[in-house]
Amino acid sequence: MGVGKNAPENEIKKEYRKLALKYHPDRAPEDKKKEYEEKFKEISQAYRILSDKEKRAQYDQYGQTFENGSPFGRGFSQGDFRSFYDAFGGEDIFEDLGFGRIFEEIFGFGSRSQGAKTPVGQDIAIDLEIDLEDAFSGVKKEVELSEFVVCPVCRGKGGESLEKCSRCQGSGYEQKRRQTPFGVFLEQRSCSECYGRGEAPEKPCPKCHGETRVKENKKIAIAIPAGIDDSQTLKIAERGNAGQYGGETGDLYANIHLRPHQYFRRQGDNLYYDLTVNFTQAALGDKIEIPSIDGERLRLKVPSGTQSGALMELTGRGMPRLYGRRRGSMIVRVRVEVPKKLSRQQKKLIEELKKVI
């Protein structure tokens, strides 16, 4: 690869990326395909050795023979393509070079490799409006859904007298030949006739017509935990649409929305309450009764000299933390109300007060 014996890993990777792109077989001129293939194999093998600390140490000691003979005389292996896949950070380079998913389908790279899979049921998403009190204490809400369920007549079999699928011969797979720059490969996918089951009914079910599921209106109860906040989403596993042909059932997602409250405004686990007091209460102080989220009436002491906009915190009187025991705080914001109209006596008293302040 043209790097020194003590070259660091990032230098080795950089040199490999440059050479691998240069000598990739798919970029070879027609008269140099063989030459490019051999060079690509050599580069890939060298990179696998030099990027592995243990193999690199063995190579330094024994040379190429440490892997039971020269590794360069064989055909393409999964390792050649795995080196290319890893060095370029996964599947994106394949898209750039026009290979699409071919390496995934052939070698199972990445998370999208294909298999004989039955169709998975679709997820369902709903919106639920609840009151702040419901979010405080937790509540069960009954909702009606129109969803696909397993056919109650054939119980998801699709019909009677299940027989080996004639298309895939019971394997659940279909094979497709694909021409690639590296030769012809056989690609396996779920059978389009039995959808991966390997069997199909001789007589389709009269209710679901062989689809294995039917649509029904169902009522389900959703448990909303105490502490849930606005715009949070609950996932109820396997309460979505049933999958076809024995496939997995989807999930149900409930998006929670809190209705505006008469008194409180929520921020996280804290509740904000606006308390209006008159000039006398703010100046002299007072004890004022205020509501709380749990229904208890609280006696709040307003100190003398309280200014408009002052905040008073009542610890542990806010919302419960989701799936926790502690509660947030209730924050009381004081607003001093100045009267717009005064009687003669009130004006006289304020004028007297003005002289001594």
Give the burial class of 89: count Cβ atoms within 10 A of its Cβ; 0-12 exposed, 13-18 middle, 19 or more buried.
exposed
39/20 Cα distance (integer angstroms): 9
CA-angle at 183, arms to 182 and 184, nearest 5°: 140
Is the domain of 45 the same as that of 171?
no
The Cβ of residue 340 has, within 10 Å, a number of other Cβ atoms equal to 5
List the structure tokens of 180: 């690639």
Across residues 116-145, what is the average pLDDT? 92
Say if residue 302's pLDDT is above 80: yes
Domain for residue 1, yes or no?
A: no
Domain for residue 116, yes or no?
A: no
CA-angle at 97, arms to 96 and 99, nearest 5°: 105
Residue range of the domain that includes 128: 121-153+212-260
pLDDT score recorded for residue 355: 79
Is the domain of 231 the same as that of 145?
yes
CA distances from 185 to 34, 44, 134, 182 (A): 19, 21, 59, 9
Check: CB of residue 37 under 8 Å from CB of residue 77: no
Helix (H, G, I), strand (E, B) or coil at 34: helix
CATH number of the domain that residue 78 is part of: 1.10.287
Is the domain of 22 the same as that of 46?
yes
List the structure tokens of 133: 């009190």
Across residues 331-340, what is the average pLDDT? 93
Taking the complete model, does pTM exceed 0.75, yes or no?
Answer: no
Q: Give me the long-range contacts of 338-347 (CB less than 8 A, separation at least 24).
A: 338/279, 339/278, 339/279
Cα 59–chain centre separation? 43
Domain for residue 175, yes or no?
A: yes
Give the bridge partners for 256, in sequence order: 128
Cα 9–chain centre separation? 33
Is the domain of 149 the same as that of 178?
no
List the structure tokens of 266: 């929520």
Across residues 147-168, what is the average pLDDT? 91
257/228 Cα distance (integer angstroms): 10
Tell me which of 122 and 177 has the higher pLDDT: 122
Cα 121–chain centre separation? 17
DSSP class per residue in 120-146: PPPPEEEEEEE-HHHHHH-EEEEEEEE
pLDDT score recorded for residue 59: 58
Is the domain of 163 the same as that of 185?
yes
Tell me which of 250 and 79 has the higher pLDDT: 250
Percentage with pLDDT > 90 across the chain: 45
pLDDT score recorded for residue 86: 55
Region of poorest pLDDT, from 115-124, 189-198, 287-296, 341-350:
115-124
Is the domain of 326 the same as that of 268?
yes
Say if residue 106's pLDDT is above 60: no
Is the domain of 30 the same as that of 94?
yes
Is the domain of 226 the same as that of 238?
yes
Helix (H, G, I), strand (E, B) or coil at 331: strand
Say if residue 63's pLDDT is above 60: no
119/113 Cα distance (integer angstroms): 15
Domain for residue 102, yes or no?
A: yes
Is the domain of 290 the same as that of 325?
yes
Domain for residue 112, yes or no?
A: no
Classify strands 124-130 and 252-258 as parallel, antiparallel or unpaired.
Answer: parallel
Say if residue 236's pLDDT is above 80: yes
Domain for residue 114, yes or no?
A: no
- Please name the residues in contact with 309: beta carbons below 8 A apart, sequence gap of 6 or more: 333, 334, 335
Check: CB of residue 300 under 8 Å from CB of residue 275: yes
Domain for residue 115, yes or no?
A: no
Is the domain of 59 the same as that of 84?
yes
CATH number of the domain that residue 268 is part of: 2.60.260.20
Radius of gyration of the chain (CA): 36
- Of 227, 260, 293, the residue that ends a domain is 260
Is the domain of 134 the same as that of 149?
yes
328/320 Cα distance (integer angstroms): 6
Is the domain of 79 the same as that of 48?
yes
How many separate domains does the chain show? 4
Domain for residue 113, yes or no?
A: no
